[in-house]
């Protein structure tokens, strides 16, 4: 009785709590990072009042949002209105249950045997992440609809169309990776890159591009931030939300960025693997623990997200659809054929 109890209940719960805490903290500091990075791109300083150099700003923001009055518009559909923030936040967090950010480790001998630090490794992990992140769109649609506000409604509708059309090329881009890795398990994908001595972004450079563009669109970030477009829809689907409910939408956006960046790292940049493992004079890089490598790669993607935001104007709705259907889908299909032929030729 004792051993299964520990193995199936205690250890997972500890892992879940730790991962949840870390993810939420990272997400909170992503907002800080975004404000700082944008500030430096825009010749200003960014938040610098709360704590040393502003480092306590996210905490203060969190406290403020907790203390805010929670407004529900009089004519809103109350149950759905309350449900929507949860429907967008929960799937975003759920995705982290299968994201392998480091290999099995015994924590420098603290544990009796090596144990994976991520919650679980299921053999359909990639499918699971795609599926679960699609649920997030319901949160946006329902949030927009239940607010009883025309701007929110339009934001919700835009988001629905956008997510549906960008999930297709994203799926095709991912299939290209699957062809190379021959597994849906995220751990296996990393191990396949290790075995091949080749990170998949080299053969899958096109897939990476398509995946990341779609990822930006899926997370409603600039230049695809039409569902919330401040200057057109006045924040779109979350116009009517305040306090923690608004914070949920906000955090979910950053969590989704983290998910998309993590997946990109795992699928194309070898996850936790160190670069150049076979180059002798770079072997000192092995000292750095795998989880740091993972974090650094994810951070690069996150930075690109913020860079986009500082640089690009916003697409118009029909142009966004055009980019998705007329460019990305044909491209991703062509890429699928090329990668397929390539895999056949190499592996026989």
Partner 1 sequence: MMGGPLEPLFDVEEMELSFGPQHPSTHGVLRVMLKLDGEKIMDAKPIIGYLHRGTEKLFETEPFPQCIPHTDRLDYVAAATNNQGFVVTMEKLLGITIPPRAAYIRMILAELGRISSHLVWLATHAIDLGAITPFFYNFREREEILDLFEAYCGARLTLNTMRVGGVPFELPDGWVDQCSDFIDRFPKHVDEYEQLLTGNRIWKRRTIGIGVISAEEAIEMGLTGPPLRGSGVKWDIRKVFPYDHYDEIDFEIPVGSNGDTYDRYLVRMQEMRQSARIIRQCLDRLPEGPVMAKVPKVLRSPEGMVYASVEGPKGELGYFIVATPKGTTPYRCHVRPPSFINLQALPEMVQGLLVADLVAVIGTLDIVLGEIDR
List of residues contacting partner 1 (CB under 8 A): 38, 41-44, 150-151, 154, 222-223, 225-226, 229-234, 309-319
DSSP helix, strand, coil percent of the chain (3-state; round to 5) = 70, 0, 30
CB of 209 vs partner 1, minimal distance in Å = 15
Look-up: residue for tokens 């045997």?
Answer: 113
CB of 231 vs partner 1, minimal distance in Å = 4
- Asked whether the CA dihedral 224, 228, 234, 235 is positive or negative, the reply is negative
41 vs 336 by CB, closer to partner 1: 41
d(CA 222, CA 62): 24
237 vs 315 by CB, closer to partner 1: 315
203 vs 236 by CB, closer to partner 1: 236
CB of 44 vs partner 1, minimal distance in Å = 6
118 vs 166 by CB, closer to partner 1: 166
How many CB atoms within 10 Å of residue 178?
Answer: 15
d(CA 100, CA 10): 19
Exposed e or buried b per residue across 244-261, where buried means at least 16 C-beta atoms within 10 angstroms of its C-beta:
bbbbbbbbbbbbbbbbbb
12 vs 209 by CB, closer to partner 1: 209
321 vs 336 by CB, closer to partner 1: 321
d(CA 257, CA 291): 18
CB of 312 vs partner 1, minimal distance in Å = 6
d(CA 65, CA 126): 33
138 vs 308 by CB, closer to partner 1: 308
Q: Which of 142, 203, 133, 227 is nearest to 171 (CA)?
A: 133
CB of 49 vs partner 1, minimal distance in Å = 19
d(CA 62, CA 66): 6
- Cβ distance 82 to 73 under 8 Å? no
CB of 256 vs partner 1, minimal distance in Å = 19
CB of 105 vs partner 1, minimal distance in Å = 42
CB of 217 vs partner 1, minimal distance in Å = 13
| DSSP assignment letter at 197 | T
d(CA 309, CA 222): 5
123 vs 311 by CB, closer to partner 1: 311
């Amino acid at each position: 009785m004792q051993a299964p109890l520990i193995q199936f209940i205690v250890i997972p719960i500890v892992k879940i709590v730790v991962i949840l805490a870390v993810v939420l903290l990272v997400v909170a500091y992503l907002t800080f990072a975004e404000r700082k990075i944008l500030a430096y791109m825009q010749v200003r300083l960014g938040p610098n009042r709360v704590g040393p150099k502003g480092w306590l700003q996210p905490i203060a923001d969190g406290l403020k949002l907790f203390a805010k009055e929670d407004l529900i518009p009089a004519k809103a559909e109350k149950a759905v209105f309350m449900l929507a923030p949860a429907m967008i936040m929960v799937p975003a967090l759920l995705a982290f249950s299968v994201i392998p950010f480091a290999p099995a480790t015994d924590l420098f001998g603290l544990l009796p045997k090596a144990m994976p630090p991520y919650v679980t490794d299921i053999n359909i992990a990639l499918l699971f992440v795609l599926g679960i992140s699609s649920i997030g769109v319901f949160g946006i649609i329902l949030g927009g609809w239940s607010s009883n506000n025309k701007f929110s409604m339009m934001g919700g509708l835009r988001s629905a169309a956008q997510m549906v059309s960008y999930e297709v090329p994203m799926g095709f881009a991912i299939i290209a990776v699957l062809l190379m890795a021959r597994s849906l398990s995220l751990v296996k994908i990393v191990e396949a890159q290790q075995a091949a001595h080749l990170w998949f972004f080299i053969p899958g450079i096109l897939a990476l591009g398509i995946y990341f563009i779609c990822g930006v669109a899926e997370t409603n970030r600039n230049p695809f931030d039409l569902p919330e477009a401040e200057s057109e829809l006045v924040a779109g689907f979350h116009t009517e939300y305040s306090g923690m409910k608004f914070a949920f939408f906000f955090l979910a956006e950053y969590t989704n960025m983290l998910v998309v960046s993590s997946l990109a790292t795992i699928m194309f940049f070898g996850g936790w693997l160190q670069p150049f493992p076979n180059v002798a004079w770079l072997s000192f890089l092995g000292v750095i623990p795998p989880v740091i490598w993972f974090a650094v790669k994810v951070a690069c993607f996150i930075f690109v997200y913020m860079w986009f935001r500082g640089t690009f104007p916003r697409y118009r709705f029909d142009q966004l659809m055009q980019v998705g259907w007329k460019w990305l889908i044909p491209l991703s299909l062509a890429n699928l054929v090329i990668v397929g032929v390539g895999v056949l030729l190499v592996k026989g």
